[in-house]
Chain A
Amino acid sequence: MNLVVPIKLVPDLVEELVIDASGARLDPDALRLKLNEFDDHAIEQAILLKEKGAGQVTVVAPDIEGVDDALFTAAAKGADRLIKLTGNWNNGVNNHALARVFANFVETLRPELILTGVQAHNDLDGAVGPQLAEHLGMPYVGYVSGVVVFDNKAQVRKEFPGGLIAEMDVVLPAVLGIQAAEKPPRYVPISKVRATMKTAKLETFPAAELETAGAPTTVRLFQPETGARATMLAGDADAVATRLVEIFREQGIL
């Protein structure tokens, strides 16, 4: 079976986010990108399926800084093909454009199952998965935390808000939005990643023209404003507790 995992890199929130002079986007010089956490789960889920005997795993990513590390790490975990899509990514890309680029390319791989991260913290215009499914005319199931593959269908566990879990069958080919892999993403020792760097091949293909139609346009970004809202309650435990109850009442919580 042909498993494809399109991944994207997102700003690392450990670094300070700086808004550039235009005011409408993050300063790329201050940014450091890392693999979207949910995409990491999608990779893990694909490799778990592979280890259960289901075919080969291809990981596809836009060719931006930091992507090599992400791809080699995926290979060290067990991914078979690593593909970078070259294009004009310098000005950033929204999910509408990215989903079109992925759809355009992924079609050529004739995938039977596409696993994407269900979301990313910078999804301003919807997640990649459903858009990709729409372009490819495939069914989509999101918030998936378990997959079993049969001949031409996948049985998936989908999580609903409120802790409800549904088990459903999806006819393949299909796109899944992975919320969590069955097991937490594995640790690969650095020595193995480094060895993989020497042996694994990164394939590059040109990305289609970026087509952002349908996506909202960002006009301005703001840093969160900090307000001085904390109030310290003084006095003994009883006084503090009484005051707390009053505050809860005032706020309509009690």
Chain B
Amino acid sequence: MSYDLLKSVVVLIALLIAGGVFGWRAYQLLWINLRRGQKSPEAFGRWGERVKGVLAYVAAQGRLFRVLVPGTAHFFIFWGFLLLSLTILQAIVEGLFAFIDPHFKLPIIGEFGPLALIQDFFALFVVIAICYALYLRLVVNPERYKGSHKSQGVMVLSFIMTIMLTLLVFNGIAINLHKDSIAAWRPISTLFGLPFAGLDKTAQFVVGEIAYWLHLGVVMFFLTELPEGKHFHIVTSVPAVFLRDLDPPGRLPKAPEFDGKLGVSTVNQFRWRQMLDFYTCTECGRCQDVCPAYASAQILSPKLLMMNLREHLTARDGKPLIGDPISEQVLWSCTTCYACDQECPLFINRVKTIVDMRRYLVSEGRMDAQLQEALAKLGRYGNSFGQSERNRAKWAATVQPKIKDARKEPVEYLWFVGDYASYSPSVVDITRQTAAVFQRAGLDFGILYEGERNSGNDVRRVGEEGLFEMLVEKNVAALGKANFKTIVTTDPHTYNSLKNEYPADATRNTQHYAELLDQLITSGKLKFSKKLDYTVTYHDPCYLGRYNGVYAAPRRVIEATGCRLVEMPRHGDRALCCGAGGGRIWMEEGAVKERPSESRIREAVALDGVSVFVAACPKDITMFRDAVKTTGSEARLVVKDLIELVNEAMT
């Protein structure tokens, strides 16, 4: 048998084995396992948007650049992979048809000069990017990689490196041996051939063949290993981005029910689209890096959670999920701030998945005593303060002229005040200032008085779906009695639920007061009598910023008051959560290294000349005023609500 024939046979056998192993493993993971999951309506429809998503987030690698240098390295590896998969194809086909022609070239792919030039350069870029990636993993080893499979990562990088170097070597030798008709288009390969140019032809041939076999061997082995761990994202990332959840992040899906219990307790109770997320996690740790729960207590790592779920899914053991290794504490630690999902290059939903498991804990009554008490109060009185609903509008008793009762007379704006703004003794003064600003701006507004209940936003995120539904019913009934055009809310959490989760015909148009103030200022209805002279920083509330994209309006309002705005390093969609969301404010705090709110205040204090910390959420006021005291920053920083600035500039 000639060498060429042997080459063809070996390549064929290798291809069949590697392809078979890959196909079988991928079939098990993607077909058998995902079919065990539940229906995923969120993965379909709005196809145009989905195609755009693939172009923006896969082709252009949109979210990767949020961490610039590693993102750029990944960009080159990704595009190198796409472009050079053609050269791999060429190499395989060349081997397969070696018995006919040892230098068989695929049309275009193997013979088109400009393509060869691009590929040649990309091979070099990939080599450089891999060197950087190895340096990042082995030398820098950032905190975000803690818990990731390091050896797997290094192995994959070494594979890619070997594939690239061997490609350049056997291309270079083909050029040396004058067997490449488009040699002029491969300057990098030519360079890689130079060290071997002095050898005789046979020796060069042997080196070239060794490079070829190494190249092919690593490619084939890599293929068999692909459906394993983090590198499976090479397969799943395109479908994951294409079929991503296009519902607003602030709209949770309805709670699934199994055997009369709400929530998810085994891996097969997840929707298959959620399962696809578990496979898609690349263990890059960007989520872990931005997670306030991870930073404060290191109990919850959104990355490790995804990795654990993937293990459960792959093991197919049907074991209960919660307990070991996903502890109840892990699930309760989440503030639902959405920073993880926002950061994820592949649009993995962690918050929604965490809430699904919390729903199960609630259905089992497994929760800490403080949360149980808060839920009982919310169930009975419609507020977490455990106060009578008759006292909900007590703060308004001293407001003159009396605020309209929107249930009794028509108003243009229905002000949905919310629990903290209504009941918290430390916040009601701000609520009264809000009323004063609205009145001075000549706004036609009213409130629901004792008809209002907690909106249920955080009740839902705790996992108490039934209580959320009950609160929605009561609020919808109260709203139904009112005649209004627009709802304006004080609390971003309330805003989120009313805007995204309530029936649209009950809530119509919903605004946060920052948006309303912005409009009133722009239209000239709200006029300032003086310019304030503060240097301030602004904290984006999670449910206003990340969840609903309201970043510009509050900043315009701040600037309109005359204040100078200095941004904290973490601002906009990178803002750090105050730690109160997702019902955390009702739970026992547990052991923490540094509270998120304290970390935030220290961040603000470090800014030059900033004396006012502006917030636009009643819970933020509570959290950050505490944090100013516990960090001893009283002399440096005052926490003010946006409305306090506006009120001050008006009077």
Contacts and interface: CB of A to CB of B under 8 A. Distances in A.
Interface in A188-206: 188-195
B465 A191 contact: yes
Contacts of B319: none
B363 A192 contact: yes
5 tightest A-B contacts by CB? A191-B466, A190-B466, A190-B467, A187-B365, A187-B372
Contact of B466 (A14, A32, A186, A192): A192
Contacts of A16: 388, 390
A188 B465 contact: no
A32 B387 CA distance: 13
A151 interface: no
Contact of B390 (A15, A184, A192): A15
Interface of B: 255, 260, 262, 362-363, 365, 367, 369, 372, 375-376, 379-381, 386-388, 390, 464-467, 469-470
A34 interface: yes
Given A14-B381, A34-B380, A194-B466, A189 B362 contact: yes
A184 B369 contact: yes
Interface string A1-22: 0000000000000111000000
Nearest to A194: B466
Contacts of A34: 380
Contacts of B367: 187
A16 B394 CA distance: 13
A195 B466 CA distance: 10
Nearest to B372: A187
Contacts of A189: 262, 362-363, 365, 464-467
Given A14-B381, A34-B380, A193-B466, A188 B388 contact: no
Given A34-B380, A190-B467, A190-B470, A14 B365 contact: no
Contact of B388 (A15, A186, A194, A195): A15
Contacts of A191: 255, 262, 363, 465-466, 469
A16 B389 CA distance: 11
Specify the main secondary structure of chain A where it touches its partner.
loop
B469 A190 contact: yes
B380 A190 contact: no
A195 B379 contact: no
Interface of A: 14-16, 32, 34, 184, 186-195
Contact of A195 (B260, B376, B380, B381): B260
7 contacts: A14-B386, A34-B380, A187-B375, A188-B365, A191-B363, A193-B466, A194-B466
Specify the main secondary structure of chain B where it touches its partner.
helix
Contact of A14 (B262, B369, B379, B387): B387
A186 B365 contact: yes
Contacts of B466: 189-194
A187 B462 CA distance: 14
A34 B379 CA distance: 13
Nearest to B378: A190
A14 B391 CA distance: 10
A195 B261 CA distance: 11
A188 B367 CA distance: 11
A90 to B, nearest CB: 22
Contacts of B372: 184, 187
Contacts of B379: 190
A18 to B, nearest CB: 12
Nearest to B387: A14
A88 B284 CA distance: 69
A233 to B, nearest CB: 24
B60 to A, nearest CB: 44
Contacts of B365: 186-189
Contacts of A14: 381, 386-388
A192 B365 CA distance: 11
Contacts of B387: 14
Nearest to B468: A190
Contacts of A184: 369, 372
Nearest to A73: B379
A14 B362 CA distance: 26
Nearest to A190: B466
Nearest to A32: B388
Contacts of B386: 14
Contacts of B255: 191
Contacts of A15: 388, 390
A188 B375 CA distance: 10
Contacts of B390: 15-16
A194 B465 CA distance: 12
Nearest to A191: B466
Nearest to B464: A189
Nearest to B371: A187
B370 to A, nearest CB: 12
Contacts of B464: 189-190
Given A189-B466, A191-B469, A193-B466, 15 more contacts: A15-B390, A16-B390, A34-B380, A187-B362, A187-B365, A187-B372, A187-B375, A189-B363, A189-B464, A189-B465, A190-B379, A190-B470, A191-B255, A192-B363, A194-B466
B262 to A, nearest CB: 6
A163 to B, nearest CB: 22
B389 to A, nearest CB: 9
A198 B365 CA distance: 21
A16 B376 CA distance: 20
A187 B464 CA distance: 11
A184 B465 CA distance: 23
Contacts of B467: 189-190
Contacts of B381: 14
A188 B466 CA distance: 10
A252 B390 CA distance: 43
Nearest to B263: A189
A65 to B, nearest CB: 14
B376 A187 contact: yes
Contacts of A193: 466
A34 B260 CA distance: 27
A192 B464 CA distance: 11
B365 to A, nearest CB: 4
A191 to B, nearest CB: 3
A198 to B, nearest CB: 12
B355 to A, nearest CB: 14
Contacts of B260: 192, 195
A189 B260 CA distance: 12
A34 B376 CA distance: 12
A15 B387 CA distance: 8
Q: Looking at A34, A184, A192, A193, which has the most chain B CB atoms within 10 Å of its CB?
A: A192
A187 B586 CA distance: 15
Contacts of B388: 14-16, 32
